[in-house]
Amino acid sequence: MKQNLTKTMTRGWVVFLLAMVCCVLWGAAFPAIKIGYSLYGISSDNLSGQIIFAGSRFFLAGVLAWIIGSITYKKPLLPGKTSWGYVVVLGIFQTFLQYFFFYVGLAHTTGVKSSIIEGTSAFVSLMVAACIFRTEHLSPKKLLGCVLGFFGVLLVNLTGSGLGGGFSLPGEGFIFFSVVAYAFSSVCIKKFSRKELPFTLSAFQFMFGGLGLVIVGKIYQSVEPHTGLYMTRGFLSKTLSNPACALILLALAGISAIAYSLWGVLLKYNDVSRVSVFGFMTPVFGVILSALLLQEDSGLSVGMIILALVLVSVGTLIVQGEQGRSADAAAETDTASASEKA
């Protein structure tokens, strides 16, 4: 049974399909967050409100992930005694640090720059896995695939004037720190999911990291006098009294619960590079869905979008093909070893 599941989850079309579901969901989060800010009345300079909003989203995502996982496995999911450390580590890197740096950085730089920097996540994940944790082989073809995918993201984001303004630590620097935090969490998920269910890890790390963000948002609120009217109590009141607010918060929580849980399952059975390369599609879907849902003018022609998608797809296929050959070689080695033992 376990071997059949492993075989299924490493099939190319399964990895592609599930990864695309994750990327579409994450791409939808960009316009959904903007809609949420509008519904809750959170201004662009209300950093504490943004962090509290993010923390509330991820805490609720943890609850949803726990419910989905418990129904799926037909039992209440609880981390084992040795797994609570995994929950804390993932909660710090995947939720707290990644989204703290992301939301603070986004307040100090443009969305275009943020998208481009976020597009380097596959590079950083591959480098962390290969150079720090040494869980992967860094081949020239994997690098080529990442380069092509990144240029696809760059092409989508090069229109307009969003690339000006130089570099700042609390802006572009913090966005890059969020990418590094995500890279570390990707490798950790792969390691930890060998000993604990991905759904369990996702659920409890979301609750831990989300609660941490809410606490930090409240602390920051006390030293942010111009946004003093935005209180956690007001946030809860709006959520309970306004169906639209409740719906967008639930949608964002669902996006995180489903996407990160599926991503965790993929990372459990596949190398980080094979999965993370699909992350290039997230900002592409983000641009398309923002234009559709927010009626934003992305400044992109249909031709540019198609070219970007081609670059991303070719880069993904190169990495997938390289990873597939590695898997086949490993399978042949295992078969040969088994024959010798027999």
Query: What integer is the mean pLDDT of 278-282?
Result: 77
Read off the pTM.
Answer: 0.76
- Among the residues of the chain, which ranges form H helices? 2-9, 12-40, 47-73, 84-90, 98-106, 111-118, 121-127, 140-157, 174-192, 198-222, 232-241, 243-269, 272-276, 281-293, 302-341
Distance (Å) of CA 77 to CA 93, 98, 202: 22, 25, 11
What local confidence, expressed as pLDDT, does residue 337 receive?
37
pLDDT in tens, 30-77: 788 888 888 888 877 788 888 889 999 999 999 999 998 899 889 999
pLDDT digits (tens, 9 = 90+) for 215-240: 998 888 777 655 544 555 677 788 88
Nearest-angstrom CA–CA distance, 209 and 245: 22
Confidence of residue 321 (pLDDT cuts 50, 70, 90): low
Phi and psi angles of residue 75, each rounded to the nearest 5 degrees, phi first: -165, 150
Q: If pLDDT is split at 50, 70 and 90, which confidence band does 211 have?
A: very high
Q: In the prediction, which pLDDT does 334 show? A: 38
User: What is the band of 296 on the pLDDT scale with cuts at 50, 70, 90?
Assistant: low
**Is residue 85 over pLDDT 90?**
yes
**Domain locations along the chain:** 2-341
Average pLDDT for 305-323: 68
